[in-house]
Amino acid sequence: MFMRSYSRTLTKNLTIKVKSVRKYLTIFLLSLTVTGCFTGIESTPRITARDVKRQRATETPEMTYTASISGDPVVHWLPGKKFLVNPGKISFALSPIDKADMLQPGDTLTFAGRRAVTSMTGNDDTLFMLLTQQGDTLNYRFTEQPAVVDTLSSLEIPFLIEASIIDKADSLMSGNDYYITTPVWFNDNDENISGRKLVKVHVTEVTRGNGTYPLSIHFTDSNGNKSKVFMSLGTSARATRNFDKLFSLTDPRQRYKDIKDDVWECITRSSVKTDMTREECRLALGNPREVIRGHYLERWSYDNGMNLIFDDGYLQRIGYR
């Protein structure tokens, strides 16, 4: 009887030890990826950022919020229409080069008219004429016939933005409160600064943007900090920072009432700490580049080299490779 009881106790203790060894071996193998190469569980499932993005996005009110902001149809362009110069090598688009090179960001150009000109191939192009504040004429050549140009709902001249677009955006957004969803903020010198996200901001004005994005959205946060973000418009491949990528119309905090205040503060500052859940870490840092799941643990990898290791759904280790 004694031997049988002893055998059962020994077997139970060995089972516990084996499970413990397996768990800590998995921790060791996953931890290797923080400082070196990954070894030992290459056969476990991998989920990449591409897999995460495969789910089709549902249209939200934010996606259509700025739909009314667009350029005027070209057929409605009349002499006197205003354009603002954005940063960039505008002499690539306008001629004569020496006059175009004298332009500075924020300068105003006035539309003077357009006419057909013959190209080197014998086809008709459309020449747009713009007047500088000094009275010089600059030309923009568009490789389509005037009849085709008349059918365009809008036309973008490189490094210029229609003043009417800025006016429409300012009328829509200035004086309103939104919840900013990006921590990528900029100061008045267009330098990137660390901001907060998922917090309320008050838009004070909309001005011209930079050489990549047409609009600057200026705002003040709840702490009185003044900053801005650059915003794109439309549906082209370059429209990567539209309103829905920058702002929410509703308070995101209301969708996550169960998250503790100290954890929410981390999330707004794009930071994480141990014992945060996977959902909380995703809110703070975004989707990982890669997810590797082991038998006990899970590792998330980000493009900046950060690795998060979860045990039973809770963050246990933060490292960089």
Structure tokens at 46: 């991998």
What pLDDT sits at residue 58? 83
Q: Are 70 and 234 in contact (CB under 8 A)?
A: yes
Average pLDDT score over residue span 188-215: 95
pLDDT beyond 60 at 39: no
pLDDT beyond 50 at 173: yes
| Weakest mean pLDDT among 12-21, 45-54, 255-264 | 12-21
What pLDDT sits at residue 235? 86
For 213-227, the three-class secondary structure string (H helix, E strand, C coil) is CCEEEEEEECCCCEE
pLDDT tens-digit readout, 215-226: 999 999 999 999
Element (H, E) at 280: helix 278-285
What pLDDT sits at residue 131? 98
pLDDT tens-digit readout, 2-32: 444 444 444 444 444 444 544 554 444 454 4
Average pLDDT score over residue span 252-268: 97
Question: Which residue matches tokens 């829905």?
Answer: 244
pLDDT beyond 80 at 46: no
Predicted TM-score of the model (pTM): 0.79
Q: Which amino acid is at 81?
A: K
Structure tokens at 19: 């499970």
pLDDT beyond 80 at 275: yes
- % of the chain exceeding 90 in pLDDT: 75
